[in-house]
Amino acid sequence: MESVDWGFVLEQTLIQALGLNAAVYAIAAIGLNMHFGYAGLLNFGQAGFVAMGAYGMGIAVNQWGYPVWVAVLMGMLFSVGFAVLLGLPTLRLRADYLAIVTIAAAEIVRLVARSTALRDITRGAEGLNEFIGPFREFNPFNPSATYGIWFVQYRGNTFFAVVIGWTLAALFVLITYLLIRSPWGRVVKAIREDELAARALGKNAYRFKMQALIIGGVMGGFAGMVDAIGKATVQPDFFGAALTFFFWLVLILGGVGRVWAPIAGSILYWGLITFVQNTGRQLVDNGVIRTTIMDTNQIDQIRFWVVGGALALLMVYRPQGIFGSREEMALDAR
Amino acid sequence: MEMPGRPRTAMLFVAAILFFLLPTVAAFAQDSENVATRITVEDETGERVPVEGVAITVTDDQGNEVGAGATDAEGVFMLEVPEAGTYQLLLDDTTLPEGVSLTNSDRNPATVILREGQTGATIFALTSGDAVAAGGGVTLRQIAQLTVEGIKFGLFIAMAAIGLSLIFGTTGLVNFAHGELIGWGMLMAYFFNFYGLAGVFGWMASWPPPFGGGVNVIFAAVIAMVLGGALGWLLDAVIFSKLRARGVGLISQMVVTIGLSLILRYFFLFGFGGSPRFYQDYTAQSAIHIGIIDITPKDLVISGLSVLILIGVGLFLIMTRWGKAMRAVSDNRDLAESSGIDVQKVIRYVWVMGAGLAALGGVFDSLAETVRWDLGFRILLLVFAGVVLGGLGTAFGALVGSVIVGIGIQLSTVWLPTELKNVGALALLALVLIVRPQGLLGRRERVG
């Protein structure tokens, strides 16, 4: 038996690199790009925005029985509300304070969502599972058939979410592109470069930063909604702090401050992770790596080493990422 | 860091907690040779009382009975299972004491999946029939007890917070890997407590402890603190001093600490496994009564030690040349440098001291609770809360802030469900930033 079935590994890698997860991460990272790449906001709570979108939409269907479009609106509203709550106290503060508060706020969202106190609304640690029905009615694809190109195939229901995901990602890239080229975008970038100078020119830095936080946050919310539609479930522990770090790696891998780079970063990230994981698993299953050294569970942990290592090394040696531009990264607080 | 030298018997242990007025952290008993279930009831003073005679039956996935028994006078039921696999644990609820029942009877039998050489755990949540009736009023005794618990926890946080705050003060770096410095200390203490160096170097097995076998947790804690300091030295020498020399920005450095934190944390999970464990010494202690407070002797000792160590650190910072230099660099780096202080050397010492203290804080906290791979990350945000509350960059502010956070967390359980107690602390963190961004002891400066 061959030690690694490369055909299978390649197939899995491509399926993941172009699949639901990659689309969700790309959308969230486009939002993060708006925050960090253009407005210079150190948002380490993007997972909280994603959770807000997913829960807002899920609860609207589950709890209040709203139609799909209203539910999506609720998801957006939840994200906006979270952005305002988060921005009001912190946007006047130094950048690293924002980092600490956003990471704490995202944890608050997760802890509250999984608490038994809100069990009637959020279904506690079990998460929301019954909201998917109305969304499936819009699915033009046959759930029992598979769709795709070549051997990259997805089941109908997943393919529906994959299509929505990549469409939204493209739309958000376009929106970001137009916004950044607009006068609004130039002010936001000016604030990132030198907030004092921008304020001296009479720009209300606080308001522009808040707007950027809301726009990027709503994009994050859409990432959560796409994820919920694709997986037909909303699990509170999915939105842990680690998720935010993955979005950051996707952003930095692609290149901060390049509108389309998060998409490239997400495809690369999921390709890399899946490749490492599947190759490792096969090496263990086929006895090339003995289980006394590591088992398949431990292979899964290696991906975090890859993520952490890549994040640190990129930040030091190529902070602009693969496709980023150096001048957009002329950012450092203080 | 795979822990070798373990008996290859798959082990199985179950912890059952009785949630009374004061829900507590799971009490796990573990022995390297046996499978153990420890079932305790907590009375209204918060003391855990072992429950004798609770019958438990263990079956494998084919439904064959592997063993059965009842908890003994210590509330312990032990069973060694022949091999890894999936096991069902059925608790006979007719043998529970009167007024105590399973919170969720769907979870009985509980399923435990065991991997070779690893320890499986499951929890039976139990409820006392009286809990609802007695839940109304808050007694002074309860407040006092919670305050003591809070001070204790706050002291552990403070040990880590001082380092975090000083590293920020001297370098401007927000160190998200500080949680892993806490976790590193805890794991090293556990490692030396259980295996000694022979855990890594098998040929040392015949040597005396700490080389060949496990040492008492007190010595293990000292070793852990030294190794914690060593890790701090290493991180600064190999990574952060280089980054400073390269002129890498602070935000970039902060992202580097996040990457570092991921690597270290999952390295811990890789070596240690996901199940919580206990140190070999001082696991099951009954509380002693001091006035209206109940506290276990080990908690009393480690709290006292924390106070002594923190006083020592305070005196070091106020009285000694190096301590003064650290505060000077933290206060105004350029001024300190121009008055002849070797800033890079001071920063190196701050890393060593901060990491050593964080390691010790991790040992203490895990002694009071359980050893688990992600403990550091779990309390990192609370450490941040303490540091921000006290004022980023101040050593004494971190101390005060942490103790307030600790007390706040415990006292909030009077009004909030226990699972939300950390939410209160994190909300406090946000609130402080609105009202007083420089923290309690911080100096007012332009922050935006």
pLDDT digits over B287-310, tens only?
777 777 778 888 888 889 899 999
Nearest residue, CB atoms, B266 vs list A108, A241, A301? A301
Q: Which residue, A199, A329, A262, is CA-closest to A27?
A: A262
For A16-29, what is each residue's pLDDT tens digit? 888 889 999 999 99
B356 and B427 in a common domain:
yes
Looking from the CA of A133 toward its CB, the CA atoms found within 13 Å total: 8
Interface test with A, best of B379, B433, B443 (most A CBs within 10 A): B433
- Could you tell me the CATH number of the domain that includes residue B151? 1.10.3470
Amino acid at B348: R
CA-based end-to-end distance of chain A: 58
**Rounded Cα gap, residues B38 and B20, in angstroms:** 16
Residue B6 lies inside a defined structural domain of this protein: no
Distance, CA of A155 to CA of A143 (rounded, Å): 6
The predicted-structure confidence for A97-126, as pLDDT tens digits, reads as follows: 788 888 888 988 998 888 877 777 888 777
Same-domain check for residues B107 and B182: no
The shortest CB-CB distance from A94 to any of B248, B417, B448 is to B448
Summarize pLDDT for A156-208 with one digit per residue, the tens.
888 888 999 999 999 999 999 999 999 999 998 888 888 888 888 888 888 99
Among B residues 354-393, those touching chain A with beta carbons less than 8 Å apart: 377, 381, 384-385, 388
Has residue A316 been placed in a domain?
no
B106 touches A at CB < 8 Å: no
**Nearest CA-CA partner of B56 in B45, B64, B65, B46:** B65
- Candidate ranges A306-315, B73-82, B179-188, B433-442; pick with highest mean pLDDT: B179-188
Would you call B415 an interface residue with chain A, using a CB distance cutoff of 8 Å? no
A308 closest CB neighbour out of B259, B427, B448: B259
B448 falls within a domain: no
For residues B158 and B98, membership in a common domain is answered with no
pLDDT tens readout for residues B236-268: 999 999 888 888 888 888 889 989 998 999 888
**How far away is chain A from the Cα of B244, in angstroms, using its nearest Cα?**
11
B208 CB neighbour count, 10 Å cutoff? 10
B273, B119 Cβ separation under 8 angstroms: yes
- The region of weakest confidence among A73-87, B185-199, B208-222 is B208-222
How deeply is A179 buried, as exposed, middle or buried, from its count of CB atoms within 10 A (0-12, 13-18, 19+)? middle
**B377 lies in some domain:** yes
Q: pLDDT class for B209, splitting at 50, 70, 90?
A: low
**Residue B114, domain member (yes or no):** yes
Maximum alpha-carbon separation in chain B: 77
Closest C-alpha to B162, from B409, B400, B425, B443: B400
Which of the listed residues B134, B155, B178 is the one where a domain comes to its end?
Answer: B134
For β-strands B65-70 and B55-60, DSSP reports them as: antiparallel
Question: Is A154 inside any structural domain?
Answer: yes
List b or e across B135-144, with b for residues whose CB sees 16 or more CB atoms inside 10 angstroms: eeeeeeebee
The one-letter code for the residue type at A221 is: G
Is B443 within the bounds of a domain? no
Kindly report the CATH number assigned to the domain that includes residue B62: 2.60.40.10
- What span, in angstroms and rounded, lies between the C-alpha atoms of A70 and B327? 56
Q: Are residues B80 and B220 in the same domain?
A: no
Clarify whether residues B300 and B255 are in a common domain. yes
Residue B129, pLDDT above cutoff 90: no
Q: How far is CA B410 from CA A110, A176, B81, B383, B426, in A?
A: 20, 45, 39, 15, 13
What percent of chain A has a predicted confidence (pLDDT) above 90? 27
Determine the average pLDDT of the residues in B316-344: 88
B18 and B161 in a single domain? The answer is no
Domain end (from B107, B134, B161): B134
Judged by CB atoms closer than 8 Å, whether chains meet at B251 and A316 is answered as no
Residue B156 shares a structural domain with residue B89: no
Most confident option among A308-322, B314-328, B425-439? B314-328
Q: What is the pLDDT of residue B36?
A: 46
> pLDDT-derived band of residue B213, with 50, 70 and 90 as boundaries?
low
For chain B, what is the mean pLDDT? Answer: 76
- B111 and B145 part of one domain: no
CB A212 within 8 A of CB A185: no
A55 lies in which domain range? 6-239
Residue B441 lies in a domain: no
Closest by Cα among B190, B170, B173 to B182:
B190
Q: Is residue B158 part of a domain?
A: yes
> Does a structural domain hold residue A82?
yes
CB B143 within 8 A of CB B410: no
Any domain includes A258: no
Rounded Cα distance, B378 and A142, in Å: 44
Among B134, B159, B179, the domain boundary falls at B134
**pLDDT above 80 for B335:** yes
B194 shares a domain with B324: yes
Q: How many structural domains comprise chain B?
A: 2
Domain that includes residue B413, residue range: 140-280+292-435
The per-residue pLDDT for B84 is 67
What is the C-alpha to C-alpha distance for residues B267 and B377, in angstroms, rounded to an integer?
13
ipTM exceeds 0.85, yes or no: no
Closest CA relative to residue A253, chosen from A309, A319, A330 = A319
CA atoms within 13 A on the CB side of B343: 19
Give the Cα separation of A308 and B42 in Å (integer).
42
Q: Do A312 and B255 touch (CB under 8 A)?
A: yes
Cβ atoms of B173 and B254 closer than 8 Å: yes
The answer to whether residues B369 and B339 belong to one domain is yes
Q: Name the residue facing A105 among B174, B266, B430 (closest C-beta).
A: B430
Query: Which residue, chain included where needed, has tokens 């004494």?
Result: B396
Residue B285 CA to residue A190 CA, distance in Å, equals 61
Look at A317 and B417; give whichever has higher pLDDT: A317
B91 and B207, same domain (yes or no): no
Q: Assess if residue B75 is contained within a domain.
A: yes
Give the mean pLDDT of chain A.
85
Which residue in the block uniquely carries the two structure tokens 């609304």?
A121
Residues recorded for chain A = 334
Same domain, B121 and B194: no
